[in-house]
Chains A and B, each alone.
Chain A
Amino acid sequence: MMPQARRRLNRTVIFLALVVVAVLMLFPFVFMILIANQSYDQYLAGSGFSLDSWRQLFAALPVLQELLNSSIVTGGAVLIILVVSSMGGFAFAKLGYPGGSVVFLLLLAGMMVPVQSIVIPEFVNISQVGLINQYPGAILVYAALGAPFATYLMTTYYRGIPTELMEASLMDGASYPQIFVRVMLPLSVPAIVTITVLQFIQIWDDLLIGLLFLQTPETRTITVGLATLQSGRMVNIPVLMAGSLASALPAIIVYLIFQRHLVRGLTMGIGK
């Protein structure tokens, strides 16, 4: 009887500790939601509910346009990443060619390059081809930054698919592009979902590339729009919080639906 009582006490203590941590982790979200739904006066008074800050936010920022810009840029980059990484992953895992493993190692090395180390020449190059403040410029840069890790994940995934499947299709007279589209791609849907979720959140939340490559209000992403609100020394905190919520919501929704895939992406990185 005694050990059991002690065990129950232990588990209660653990539960309480986990609750405390949960409160600490949820705090910013609760703060954002509460404050965003107050007017400035209510915020100063410390209580109340109003949609006034949302109205002010939409007046101060072209929120819908910026959400659209973020969607275009994120969607375009994720699409390119998926195409090149699934093709490349298939080739590295199942086809191979002379020098292929060197190329693969170079790609792995590419995962380790800090963006800040290359961003200046990148900026100059993109501006020389006239793609600053154009969606394709930012899309291409995001795609190039995300593709190495995505290709690594796809290669890892395709290695786990039996080669016999490919050989059987070859015997049936299928070409490699046909095998890729009809056999390999359908089998790799879980990896594709993982990459989509990881890259979506990463690109949607990014500031630096957006800040440099999409500077005009017409092309600016929501994350950059929010950062410039702050640097404009906007001190209306409820409006800032409304903006934070608007920018965070799409990524939070993606997270809530696909969190299992995010965890898998992380653990695939460990190679487990």
Chain B
Amino acid sequence: MTGSSQAVPSATRAPRRGRSHLGGSRRRAGFLFCLPVILLEAGLLGLPIVQTFYYSFTDWNGLTSSWVGLNNYSQLFGDSTFWQVLGNNALLLASIPIAIVIPLAIAFLLNEHVAGWRFFRSVYFLPTAISWVVIGLVAIRFFAAEGILNGVLKTVGLGGIQTDLLSSEAGAMAAVIITFIWSVFGTNTIIFITGMATMDREVYEAAHVDGAGAWTTLLHVTLPMLQRFIQFAFILTLVTAFTALFSLIFVMTSGGPGFGTTTLEFFVYEKAFNTGAFGLAAAIGVVLFVVVFAISITQLRLFRSRVD
């Protein structure tokens, strides 16, 4: 939208005119107009954040709590399951380059505007509309022992490499990751297409005149100009991977087999609602919060240094 590329910092650029009595009523109106969103967020977002931090130092069971200091954290860091869960998050993190490079490549192809490219764009973006629950339900049929993937392998004469992915820890995690990459493909492709659309045709023509080949243009012109969009897609994908896969995991594997597909966000749910350890779950919530927040802050800094 217009002139909003520096939207993140500095909220208010209200008009500064001399009439101070008007200024007073304007500020009063400003506060009153903000009040609904402030009240909503203070009560239902701010308060639980504070509570999560507080209860992570208690042995809370949902009703009563007593202060236990750093007990939850030391219990957590001493638990091998926690490190396995953190490892699963690391696997998700490691898969993100794939979830970026494939859409990037396809966006380049789409940007050639061959026949029907608008139709393809719509089709690619379609999974954005359906829930993780539905995606998970279809994914199970795809990866199951008697499922579609193995059926296809058998048909094309590769029956020998048929596997029951969902029955092993590593296999189930691979299935979750593949499904995840499939799901974010459309969103990332749209982000890159948008980025390419903002580029000036003349830059390409200049590169062409200078004798730059397709690869040189790609590496030295297109990719650098897309940097902001690649960063944005990276962060969006990472936040999705760490905070939006609950439903997919719930439906596809319930975190198993074992803890094979349990990520931090699923671990919170599992500890709180299956074992009733609300205090410990709050501590996991804090860890997740810190991880996501650190990533987001890093991203904001990168953004700002690029834009300015």
Tell me the A residues contacting B by CB distance below 8 Å: 11, 14-15, 17-18, 21-22, 24-26, 28-29, 31-32, 80, 83-85, 87-88, 90-98, 100-101, 103-108, 110, 112-122, 124-125, 140-141, 143-145, 147-148, 151-152, 155-157, 159-160, 163, 166-167, 170, 176-177, 180, 201, 204-208, 211-212, 223, 226-227, 230-231, 237, 240-241, 244, 247-248, 251-252, 254-255, 259, 262-263, 266-272
Contacts and interface: CB of A to CB of B under 8 A. Distances in A.
Residue of B62, B131, B273, B292 contacting most chain A CB atoms (<10 Å): B131
Interface in B1-58: 1-15, 17, 22, 25-34, 36-38, 40-41, 43-49, 51-52, 55
A28 B131 CA distance: 12
Interface in B262-304: 264-265, 268-269, 272-273, 278, 281-282, 285-286, 288-289, 292-293, 296
A252 B33 contact: no
Contact of B7 (A25, A159, A248, A252): A159
A259 B125 contact: yes
Contacts of B190: 263, 266
A100 B41 contact: no
Interface string B117-134: 101101111111111111
15 contacts: A14-B112, A18-B114, A88-B33, A92-B34, A96-B11, A112-B292, A116-B264, A120-B55, A157-B1, A159-B4, A205-B132, A227-B250, A241-B137, A248-B129, A263-B125
Contacts of A83: 36
A120 B284 CA distance: 11
A96 B9 CA distance: 14
* Majority DSSP secondary structure for residues of B touching A: helix
A48 to B, nearest CB: 17
B128 A120 contact: no
Given A120-B52, A147-B41, A251-B129, A96 B30 contact: yes
Contacts of A115: 243
B124 A22 contact: yes
A101 B12 contact: yes
B126 A252 contact: yes
B125 A114 contact: no
A165 to B, nearest CB: 11
Contact of A21 (B31, B106, B191, B278): B106
B6 A18 contact: no
| A-B interface, 5 closest residue pairs, ranked by CB to CB distance from nearest | A95-B30, A104-B11, A205-B131, A144-B44, A96-B14
A51 to B, nearest CB: 20
B252 to A, nearest CB: 9
